[in-house]
Amino acid sequence: MKSLNKFQQSLSLKEKNLLKINSVARFFIEISDLDDLNSIQDFVTEKKISFCTLGEGSNVVLPNLIDKLVISISYDEIIVEENLITVGAGKNWDDFVIWSLKNGYSGLENLSGIPGSVGAAPIQNIGAYGSEVSHFIEEVICFDVELNEFISFTNSECNFSYRKSIFQKQSSLVIIKVKFKLSKDFIPNLEYEDLNSLKEDNISPNTIREHILKVRNAKISDPRICPNVGSFFKNPIISRNELDKIKQINPSIKYNSYLDNKVKISAAFLIESLNLKGFTLKNAKVSDKHSLVLENKSEKPKDILDLASHIQSLVLDNYNINLEIEPLIF
């Protein structure tokens, strides 16, 4: 097998996840040459193991042992066809945002500063400041390990919704490339509350990017200093009837209108209303900067998951709302 020597055994992933959990992969391969994908099926069959993919570890909670083959895509080529830009899954997301702005494309500026890789972006339909990556995705190109062939999904086939996509349930797929449809006609998106202070006159995509980076830095601790994966919980989406019941508990509840006559509740508000901002449990802490951010000081996943469970229990007891964890728990 040509690429057999590229498979590594018992590799530490501590520096490959933002929570700095001391996780070890039983087997590991980094894919920079797409031809190496053809060796994966034979390898997992021979070793009788399953596989998983890991990007930059920016939205995951890893176990101390991953008894699988961990696949990391470092392929990061960019191919331009007018307003269609195909990007390798291994490209750093924010580096791609910078590239798009430098090359005159707009749209991705509201998604500035989000950690992770391009390949991870469609999986949870990353979003921030009134925008979601699904607004710009034309196609997602994958490698199906079971079929040993490439397969692509159009935007509609990805079944995008709030922090969800088809790729969360397709275990045989490895995202290889993402094709984006971007525009050189700039239309600013300033609907999000933190952007209301910006004026449309003389504004540029770079102005929005710089503002968002300042806001993010003020709210989210540097993961290199305080290991974290950003928002740990999704904002709950509930019906208007459920909202009325919550208003009886807390009239000042923060929410925004959503699709199908539903509303999106601020998970941060729920947590802060229970005086949990800055709360510490063992080796994990609710950030002093933003209550959706959980900071980790342990090499094991248990402490941060115990803190998350504690928060979920209190929110459920007080508001009858189930807070859903945003990062993928392996």
- Mean pLDDT score of the chain: 95
CA distances from 203 to 107, 127, 133, 188 (A): 13, 21, 22, 8
Looking at the structure, tell me whether residues 169 and 299 fall in a common domain.
Answer: no
pLDDT tens readout for residues 144-187: 999 999 999 999 999 999 999 999 999 899 999 999 999 999 99
Looking at the structure, tell me whether residues 118 and 187 fall in a common domain.
Answer: yes
Catalytic residue selected from 72, 112, 132, 163: 163
pLDDT greater than 70 at residue 215? yes
Looking at the structure, tell me whether residues 103 and 212 fall in a common domain.
Answer: yes
Catalytic residue flag (residue 163): yes
pLDDT tens readout for residues 150-160: 999 999 999 99
CATH number assigned to the domain comprising residue 242: 3.90.78.10
- Contact by Cβ (8 Å): 148, 38: yes
Of 171, 12, 116, 32, nearest to 326 (Cα)?
Answer: 116
pLDDT tens readout for residues 232-256: 999 999 999 999 999 999 999 999 9
pLDDT tens readout for residues 11-43: 999 999 999 999 999 999 999 999 999 999 999
Three-state DSSP at 210 gives: helix
Which DSSP string do the residues of 44-93 spell out, in sequence order?
Answer: HHHHT--EEE-SSSSSEE--SEEEEEEEEE----EEEETTEEEEETTSBH
- Please state, for a pLDDT cut of 70, what percent of the chain lies above it: 99
Cα–Cα dist 233/231, whole Å: 6
Considering only CA atoms, give the Rg of the chain: 20
CATH number assigned to the domain comprising residue 146: 3.30.465.10
Residue that finishes a domain, picked among 189, 218, 247: 218
Cα–Cα dist 233/326, whole Å: 5
Looking at the structure, tell me whether residues 213 and 82 fall in a common domain.
Answer: yes
pLDDT tens readout for residues 35-62: 999 999 999 999 999 999 999 999 999 9
pLDDT of residue 202: 81
pLDDT of residue 1: 45
CATH number assigned to the domain comprising residue 36: 3.30.43.10
Cα–Cα dist 293/82, whole Å: 39
Range of the domain at 120: 78-218
pLDDT tens readout for residues 66-81: 999 999 999 999 999 9
pLDDT of residue 3: 55
Question: What is the value of pTM for the model shown?
Answer: 0.93
Total domains in the chain come to: 3
Looking at the structure, tell me whether residues 181 and 200 fall in a common domain.
Answer: yes
Catalytic residue selected from 23, 72, 117, 231: 231
Looking at the structure, tell me whether residues 227 and 297 fall in a common domain.
Answer: yes
Catalytic residue flag (residue 231): yes
